[in-house]
Amino acid sequence: MEIIASAIGTALQWQNLIAVVAGVLTGIIIGALPGLGPAVGVALLIPFTYALPTETSLILLTALYMAAEYGGSISAILISTPGTPAAAATTLDGYPMAQNGEPGKALTTSLYASVIGGIIGVIILISLSIPLARFALKFGPAEYFALGVFGLSIVSSLSGKSMLKGFAAAVLGLLLSTVGVDTLTGYTRLSFGFVDLMEGFPFIPVLIGLFAMSEVFNMIEGLAKESIAVKKFSVKFASLLEFKKVLPTVFKGSLIGSFIGILPGAGGAIACWVSYNEAKRTSRHPEKFGTGIMEGIAAPESANNATVGGAMIPLLALGIPGSGTTAVLLGALIMHGLTPGPKLFTEHTAMIYSLFAGLMLSNFLLLAFGLGAIRMWVKVLKIPTNVLAPIIFILGVIGSYGVRNNMFDVLLMFVFGLMGYFLKKYDYSVPAIVLAMILGFMIESNLRRALIISDGSFLVILTQPICLMLIVIAVLTLVMPMVRQFKSQRNSRTGAN
Amino acid sequence: MKRGSAVISLLMIGLGLFVFFQTLTFPKAFNPNDFGPAFFPRVLSIVLIIFSIGILALTRKEEKEVKYSQLLLIAMSILLSLAYIPAVSYFGFYLTTIVYTALFLKILQVKALMAATYSVALCLTVYLIFTRLLSMPLPVGILTGTI
């Protein structure tokens, strides 16, 4: 108890308070900027922490991580460009809601869901760190393969008009994920001699290209159709009564996010889709998803903030990063002379607890700053397209260049931008490509590892209980939307007769 | 048959065939229980070809033809984007981006003075935030040593 009280005291020291404020503000901005996600944000801020005490540094970086997960939804909602990969699902309902003239409602829904998700994630981090981390440790390659397949099965509900085109997009994404060195044999596949493709397609330039650059081309084209003048919109907030209705979705999303966050390799980018899909699957009105409803925003946003707490569990307790950002945080911890792992809890107990307190505090500040500045964010919409397009372009260039300081990545960003622009025009699902690209490596490498361990027997996938459960859910997730589509087609046909 | 949709399907089939033949040159795995580096891309290339043929066959006539307005503007932007990469390598990020943004705004029918002012202001902001504040090493090309 004493240690907790002193930890809260440490977190409330003025320099740590400033760190939380700075972390939250930069986090929101960096999250909102397309291409600059929490991982890039944390990496960019690491040089600032050289001169700071360890607690202050960690509080600053984790507050940024938390706030960026919310920030990503701002651009997802206002300009249909997810600021972070974890906000990609938010565009599905957030952008239509903003287009329907309710950007304020969309942003507050996202904010409340993010804060609740963040708080629940931290509570889970505090109470379950060690036992839950132990559970995730038991996951072998077979379970990871099943998890990847489960993640991919979501594609069927992302497909939009044509399910076949959705599957084709996913296959294309999986195919793109095979580029680069094959980790099991060391053979370089399909890189055509480009050294920069040895590690596969760098994810951030591809993401910026597919989502942001393709939008720039759309903007250019949109000029002829409608004038540059901005549509009227209200900055009306989501009322607490309205938000109360989506609370079950928020709690479910928070738990999904925390759980997926714990699994190494699966971060907010996967959690948001799983949560969105789960909300849609269990909804009484799944057909309304994608038209701009609150559940469609609350589900991914609660989940991606909850992954922050979840991802910190294996990072702190075992030294295994659960997301791209925690991988960068791992570097920051080591830089400050700490070795993440079980010993951290015994040797640096006070610091760990003040980190928890700082993370909790960052959620409340996120709520305050989020609400305070929401009118400012809504104003982003007032920026005419011809002003916004060059900004997205420049940030896209910087974002793709900055990951590896490499112009090749900028070229890739352009290529994927064109690809995204044309594929979107013909109803191919861009999120399906992205999801498949993230999961492809996980699926292939873990299946092969599992088969090596089991001496080539595929039974390994069906005999492990966790694995079997995930595969069954995956098959159901894949088939259900098809059955639903078939039923509704049959109903409309019999109705016509 | 709609032309644009067909072109995309044909490109996908082409990609599938290309990858399929590439995988024939991949080596076998050392471990007999590992199905090797070729298996996954090869299966995917076949599935991609099958799906694309399916899409090609199923593209209904009643489907709306996708319209391209401003094709010229798009083409110009694409050309401009392609010229951007070698230009940055030589002139550096800032000089190229100022000129590029101004041209880009000109394409979007913004007045010349406005376009020039805005692009300079934008690049100055980027410089202050990224180069000065965040010390992000953006390529400076021929300006090396001056900023």
Q: Considering chain A, what is the average pLDDT of its residues?
A: 80
Instruction: Give the DSSP H or E segment for A236.
Output: none
Q: What is the pLDDT of residue B66?
A: 64
User: What per-residue confidence (pLDDT) applies to B64?
Assistant: 60
pLDDT of residue A259: 85
Q: Which residue has the tokens 């799983």?
A: A274
| Cα A280 to Cα A430: distance, rounded to the nearest angstrom | 19
Tokens 């040797």 belong to A347
Neighbours of A2 (CB within 10 A): 6
Look at A24-33, A110-119, A378-387, B134-143 and tell me which has the smallest mean pLDDT: A378-387
Which of A175, A414, A426 shows the shortest C-beta gap to B48? A175
Token digits of residue A245: 């209705």
Instruction: Check whether A313 has a pLDDT greater than 60.
Output: yes
Q: Count of alpha carbons within 13 Å of A87, Cβ hemisphere only?
A: 40
CB contact under 8 A, B33 and A165: no
Region of B137 on the Ramachandran plot (φ > 0 left; ψ -120 to 50 alpha; else beta): beta
What is the distance in angstroms between the Cα of A283 and the nearest Cα belonging to chain B?
Answer: 30
pLDDT at A223: 55
Place of tokens 């793709």: A400
Q: Is A385 on the interface with B (CB under 8 A)?
A: yes
Query: Which amino acid is residue A288, in one-letter code?
Result: K
Asked if this assembly's ipTM is beyond 0.85, the reply is: yes
Tell me how far apart the alpha carbons of residues B48 and B17 are, in angstroms, rounded to a whole number.
9
Cβ-Cβ contacts under 8 Å between A and B: the total is 146
Cβ separation of B85 and A414 shorter than 8 Å?
Answer: yes
CA distance A185 to B70: 48
**Comparing A2 with A459, which gets the higher pLDDT?**
A459
Contact residues, B window 4-63, toward A, CB-based 8 Å cutoff: 4-5, 8, 12, 15, 19, 22, 26-27, 29-37, 40-41, 44-45, 47-48, 51-52, 54-55, 58
Q: What is the pLDDT of residue B106?
A: 83
**CA–CA separation, B47 and A171 (whole Å):** 7
Name every residue whose Cβ is closer than 8 Å to that of residue A57 and which is 6 or more positions away in sequence.
A19, A49, A332, A336
Strand partners, A181: A188
- A44 confidence band (pLDDT: 50, 70, 90): low
Q: Does B104 touch chain A (CB under 8 A)?
A: yes
CB spacing of B109 vs A411 below 8 angstroms: no
B114 to chain A, any CB pair closer than 8 A? The answer is no
- Say yes or no: B96 contacts chain A, CB-CB below 8 A: no
pTM of the model: 0.71
| Residue with tokens 């209200």, as numbered in its chain | A234
Q: Binning pLDDT at 50, 70 and 90, where does residue A382 land?
A: low
Between A27-41, A236-250, B61-75, B108-122, the lowest mean confidence (pLDDT) is in B61-75
> Among A353-367, B12-26, B125-139, whose mean pLDDT is lowest?
B125-139
The confidence score (pLDDT) of residue B21 equals 94
A168 contacts B55? CB cut-off 8 A: yes
Question: Measured between alpha carbons, how far apart are the two ends of chain B, in Å?
Answer: 56
Which residue does chain B place closest to A411, by CA atoms? Answer: B85
Q: Cβ of B118 under 8 Å from any chain A Cβ?
A: yes
Per-residue pLDDT, averaged over A367-395, amounts to 73
Q: Note the pLDDT of residue A227.
A: 34
Of A171, A398, A418, the CB nearest to B138: A398
CA distance B64 to B71: 18
Does residue A497 surpass a pLDDT of 70? no
- Contact across the interface for B55 and A190, Cβ inside 8 Å: no
Q: What angle do CA B55, B56, B60 make, to 5 degrees?
A: 85
Residue A477 contacts by C-beta under 8 Å, 6 or more apart in sequence? Answer: A150, A153, A154, A156, A157, A277, A281
Contact predicate A328/A58, CB 8 Å: no
SS3 assignment, position A443:
helix
Dihedral sign for Cα A52, A58, A59, A61, please: positive
Task: Name the residue among A258, A318, A316, A256 with its Cα closest to residue A282.
Answer: A256
CA-atom Rg of chain B in angstroms: 24
Please enumerate in sequence order all residues whose Cβ is within 8 A of that of A100, keeping only pairs 6 or more positions apart, or say none: A292
Residue A376, pLDDT above cutoff 80: no
Give A81-115 pLDDT, tens digit per residue: 777 778 888 988 988 888 888 888 888 999 999 99
Confidence (pLDDT) at A175: 95
Question: Which range, of A17-31, A141-155, A360-374, averages the lowest pLDDT?
Answer: A141-155
Chain A residues 217-236 with CB within 8 Å of chain B: 217, 220-221, 223-225
Return the H-helix or E-strand segment holding A189: strand A188-189
Q: Which tens digit of pLDDT belongs to each residue from A434-468?
A: 778 777 887 898 899 999 988 888 888 888 888 89
Chain B residues lying within 8 Å of A398, measured CB to CB: 126, 130, 136, 138
Residue B134 pLDDT: 63
Question: Average pLDDT of A159-178?
Answer: 87
SS3 state at A179: coil
CA dihedral A392, A393, A394, A395 (to 10 degrees): 40
Residue B105 CA, chain-centre distance (Å), reads 20
DSSP secondary structure code for residue A13 in this structure: S
Interchain CB distance below 8 Å, B104 and A390: yes
CA distance A210 to chain B (A): 15
Distances in whole angstroms, Cα of residue A399 to Cα of each of A48, A396, B73: 19, 5, 25
Residue contact B26–A187, C-beta within 8 A: yes
Residue range B7-28: average pLDDT? 93
Answer whether A426 sits within 8 Å of B119, measured CB to CB: no
Instruction: Give the per-residue pLDDT at A225.
Output: 41
Residues of A in contact with B81 (CB under 8 A): 414, 417
Token pair for residue A357? 């307190």
Q: A181 in contact with B at a CB cutoff of 8 Å? A: no
Tokens 């269990």 belong to residue = A282
Which CA distances in Å does A421 have to A79, A167, B100, B138? 15, 18, 21, 27
Lowest mean per-residue pLDDT among A44-48, A328-332, A465-469, B135-139: A44-48
Look at A31-40, A116-125, A354-363 and tell me which has the smallest mean pLDDT: A31-40
pLDDT-based confidence at residue A40 (cuts at 50, 70, 90): low
- The residue among B69 and A184 whose pLDDT is bigger is A184
DSSP string across A123-149: HHHHHHHHHHHHHHHT--HHHHHHHHH
- pLDDT > 70 fraction of chain A, expressed in percent and rounded: 82
User: For residue A117, is pLDDT > 90?
Assistant: yes
Alpha carbons A336 and B94: distance in angstroms, whole number: 35
Tell if the CB–CB gap between B4 and A410 is shorter than 8 Å. Answer: no
* Angle of helix B71-107 versus helix A214-225 axis, rounded to 10: 90
What's the first-to-final CA gap in chain A, in angstroms?
72
Does B136 contact chain A (CB < 8 Å)? yes
Confidence of residue A174 (pLDDT cuts 50, 70, 90): very high
Give the whole-angstrom CA distance, residue A16 versus residue A354.
10
Q: What local confidence, expressed as pLDDT, does residue B63 receive?
A: 58
- Backbone conformation region of residue A455, classed left if phi is above 0, alpha if psi is from -120 to 50, else beta: left
pLDDT given at position B61? 55
Comparing CA positions, the residue from A293, A279, A379, A367 lying closest to residue A70 is: A367
Band of residue A77 on the pLDDT scale cut at 50, 70, 90: confident
Residue B58 and residue A164: Cβ atoms within 8 Å?
yes
pLDDT score of A253: 93
Q: What residues contact A197, with CB distance under 8 A and at least 6 apart?
A: A179, A180, A191
- The answer to whether the Cβ–Cβ distance between B97 and A44 falls below 8 Å is no
Residue B138 has pLDDT above 50, yes or no: yes
Smallest CA-to-CA distance from A93 within A81, A108, A77 is with: A77
Comparing alpha-carbon positions, the chain A residue that sits nearest to B79 is A414
